[in-house]
C-alpha cells in the first residue's frame, strides 16, 4: 500500500509559528532544531519493513521538506503540494509509476482538513491524526481548527502511530460503526463530535458514519442515508444500521460501567414524515439491554421541515417551538441514550438535550446514524461550460452522478449531468 504522509503536525511537531519561515523557505532549515514526534521515525521504518511505501506529501517549501525527508526519515517527498488540490499529488504518484485509479492501494495520513479533503478528492482512504494540541490558530494549514478537521470527513481518526498501523493492517474493523456494518463487520468507532462534563454530569454527542457530500472513499454511506429516508428502504439496510447501534451500545455498557444508562429513546417522527413512523419502526428493530421509551412528541400543527433550515439558530428555534418531552414520564436523575438519524449543524441535538436537562435528566448520549461532512468538489470539468462538476445523489434511488449544478439548485453551472 502507498502511504501518503503529511509532514508538519504528523511526523514533526512544527505547528508553532516560529517554524513558519523555515516552512516557507525564507530561513535555512536546521535539522537538529526540528522536533520529531516520539515514534515517528520508528513508524516510518515499520511501514517500510512490512512492505508498504511511505511518501511525504507536504505544502511546505523544498528547502525545508527535502532535508527533513532525506535526513530524518529516508523517504521521498512531494513539496508545495497545494493541498487540498489533488492535481500535483496525482501527477507525482503517476511519475513514480503508481496507478491512482487503484484506490484501495492508497491511504492519506495527516492532521488537518487539507490532508483529508485532498484524500477524499482522490477517493483514497484517509486517517486524521491527533498527535498534538494546537496552542494557536494558523490559517494556511488550518492548525487549531479542530472542528474543521473532523467535519472534513476522514475515514478514520488516530491518536497514535500504533493506531495508524492497526488501521492499515485491518481497515474494515476500524471503520466508523455504521460503515463497518455495511462491510459485514463490527466496530465501536464513532465521530466524537462534542463532550461536556460539569459537576459530574456528562453529555456526549456521537455519530456512526459519514453522510458525505461530493467525492469520498468507497466506505462513505451517503447513499444509505438517502435510502433511509425513502419509503422503499430495504429491510437489509435497516437491519445493518440496527446491528451497528446494538453493537455500539452493548459495548458501551460493558466496557464503561462507570456510566449507568437508564433509558434508550429516540427523536420521534412528525405526522407528516415520509415514510410514516420512519424512526419508530427503526427504533423497534434495535435490541439493547436498556428500557426503551418514547419520550418526545411533535406538535400536531407543525408546519415545515428542519431539513430546509440551513443554520443552527433556525433549527434550534424550530425544535423548541414544535417538539416537546412527554409529561407523563419521570426523568429526574435518569440517564438517557437518545437516537436520531442525522447530525448536521447540531441545532436539533443541542436543543433536545436542553429540553431533557430541564426535566432533570442526568447523563446524556446523543447518538446519530449519520454525520453530514463537508463538501469536496469533483475533479471533473463540465464538457459543456468548463466549470467544476459536483458529485450528487439522486434521492429517489441513491444513484450518484456528476452535476454541473445550475442556479436553481444553489450552483453556478449549466445543468449538465453525467453518471459516475
pLDDT in tens, 192-242: 999 999 888 999 999 999 999 889 999 999 999 999 999 999 999 999 999
- In this predicted structure, the answer to whether residue 288 has a pLDDT above a threshold of 60 is yes
> Which range, of 144-153, 207-216, 218-227, 314-323, averages the lowest pLDDT?
144-153
> Which range, of 66-70, 329-333, 400-404, averages the lowest pLDDT?
400-404
Q: Are the C-beta atoms of 369 and 209 separated by less than 8 Å?
A: yes
* Strand 156-158 to 77-78 pairing: unpaired
> Which among 109, 203, 99, 106 has a CA at the least distance from the CA of 156?
109
The stretch 295-301 carries a mean pLDDT of 91
Q: Are the C-beta atoms of 404 and 389 separated by less than 8 Å?
A: yes
pLDDT, residue 313, reads 87
pLDDT, residue 142, reads 60
**pLDDT-based confidence at residue 141 (cuts at 50, 70, 90):** low
pTM of the model: 0.91
The stretch 304-327 carries a mean pLDDT of 84
What nine digits make up the cell of 67? 532535508
In 10 A of CB 16, how many CB atoms?
14
**Which residues are CB-neighbours of 264 under 8 A, at least 6 positions away?**
249, 286, 288, 290, 291, 292, 293, 336, 337, 339
> Which among 101, 159, 104, 82 has a CA at the least distance from the CA of 127?
159
pLDDT, residue 368, reads 98
Under DSSP, is residue 205 helix (H, G, I), strand (E, B) or coil? Answer: strand
pLDDT, residue 136, reads 56
Q: Could you tell me the residue ranges of all domains in the chain?
A: 2-169, 191-375
pLDDT, residue 300, reads 86
Q: Are the C-beta atoms of 174 and 167 separated by less than 8 Å?
A: yes
% of the chain residues with pLDDT over 90: 75
Class of domain 2-169: alpha beta
- In this predicted structure, the answer to whether residue 260 has a pLDDT above a threshold of 70 is yes
Name the E strands within 102-243.
Answer: 106-110, 125-129, 156-158, 191-198, 201-207, 210-214
- In this predicted structure, the answer to whether residue 133 has a pLDDT above a threshold of 70 is no
- CATH topology agreement for domains 2-169 and 191-375: yes
> Which range, of 231-245, 265-279, 328-342, 399-413, averages the lowest pLDDT?
399-413
> Which among 214, 263, 257 has a CA at the least distance from the CA of 420?
214
Give Cα 363 distance to the centre of its chain.
24
The stretch 177-187 carries a mean pLDDT of 97
The CA-based diameter of the chain, rounded to the nearest angstrom, is 71
Candidates 3.40.50.720, 3.40.50.300, 3.50.50.60, 3.40.50.2020; CATH matching 191-375: 3.40.50.2020
Give Cα 412 distance to the centre of its chain.
27
Higher pLDDT, residue 240 or 259:
240
Amino acid at each position: 500500500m502507498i502511504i501518503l504522509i503529511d509532514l508538519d503536525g504528523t511526523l514533526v511537531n512544527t505547528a508553532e509559528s516560529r517554524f513558519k519561515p523555515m516552512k516557507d523557505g525564507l530561513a535555512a532549515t536546521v535539522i537538529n532544531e526540528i522536533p520529531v514526534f516520539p515514534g515517528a521515525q520508528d513508524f516510518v521504518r515499520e511501514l517500510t519493513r512490512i512492505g508498504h511505501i511511505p511518501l511525504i506529501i507536504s505544502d511546505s517549501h523544498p528547502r525545508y521538506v527535502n532535508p527533513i525527508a532525506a535526513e530524518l526519515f529516508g523517504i521521498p517527498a512531494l513539496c508545495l503540494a497545494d493541498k487540498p488540490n489533488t492535481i500535483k499529488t496525482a501527477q507525482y504518484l503517476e511519475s513514480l509509476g503508481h496507478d491512482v485509479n487503484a484506490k484501495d492501494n492508497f491511504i492519506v495520513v495527516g492532521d488537518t482538513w487539507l490532508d483529508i479533503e485532498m484524500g477524499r478528492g482522490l477517493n483514497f482512504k484517509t486517517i486524521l491524526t491527533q498527535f498534538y494540541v494546537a496552542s494557536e490558530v494558523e490559517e494556511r494549514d488550518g492548525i487549531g481548527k479542530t472542528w474543521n478537521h473532523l467535519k472534513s470527513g476522514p475515514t478514520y481518526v488516530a491518536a497514535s502511530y500504533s493506531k495508524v498501523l492497526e488501521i492499515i493492517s485491518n481497515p474494515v474493523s476500524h471503520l466508523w460503526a455504521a460503515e463497518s456494518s455495511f462491510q459485514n463487520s463490527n466496530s465501536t468507532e464513532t465521530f466524537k463530535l462534542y463532550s461536556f462534563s460539569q459537576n459530574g454530569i456528562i453529555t456526549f454527542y456521537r455519530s456512526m458514519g459519514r453522510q458525505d457530500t461530493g467525492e469520498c472513499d468507497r466506505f462513505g454511506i451517503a447513499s444509505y442515508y438517502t435510502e433511509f429516508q425513502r419509503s422503499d428502504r430495504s429491510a437489509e439496510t435497516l437491519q445493518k444500521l440496527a446491528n451497528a447501534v446494538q453493537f455500539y451500545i452493548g459495548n458501551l455498557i460493558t466496557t464503561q460501567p462507570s456510566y449507568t444508562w437508564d433509558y434508550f429513546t429516540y427523536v420521534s417522527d412528525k405526522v407528516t414524515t415520509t415514510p410514516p413512523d420512519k424512526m419508530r419502526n427503526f427504533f423497534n428493530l434495535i435490541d439493547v439491554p436498556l428500557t426503551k421509551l418514547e419520550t418526545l412528541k411533535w406538535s400536531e400543527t407543525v408546519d415545515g421541515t428542519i431539513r430546509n433550515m440551513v443554520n443552527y439558530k433556525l433549527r434550534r428555534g424550530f425544535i423548541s417551538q414544535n417538539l416537546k418531552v412527554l409529561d407523563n414520564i419521570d426523568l429526574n436523575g435518569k440517564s438517557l441514550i437518545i437516537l436520531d438519524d442525522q447530525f448536521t449543524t447540531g441545532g436539533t441535538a443541542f436543543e433536545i438535550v436542553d429540553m431533557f436537562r430541564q426535566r432533570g435528566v442526568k447523563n446524556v448520549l446523543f447518538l446519530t446514524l449519520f454525520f453530514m461532512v463537508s463538501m469536496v468538489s469533483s475533479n471533473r470539468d463540465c464538457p459543456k461550460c468548463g466549470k467544476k462538476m459536483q458529485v450528487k445523489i439522486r434521492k429517489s434511488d441513491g444513484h450518484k452522478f456528476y452535476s454541473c449544478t445550475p442556479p436553481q439548485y444553489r450552483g453556478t453551472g449549466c445543468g449538465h449531468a453525467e453518471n459516475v
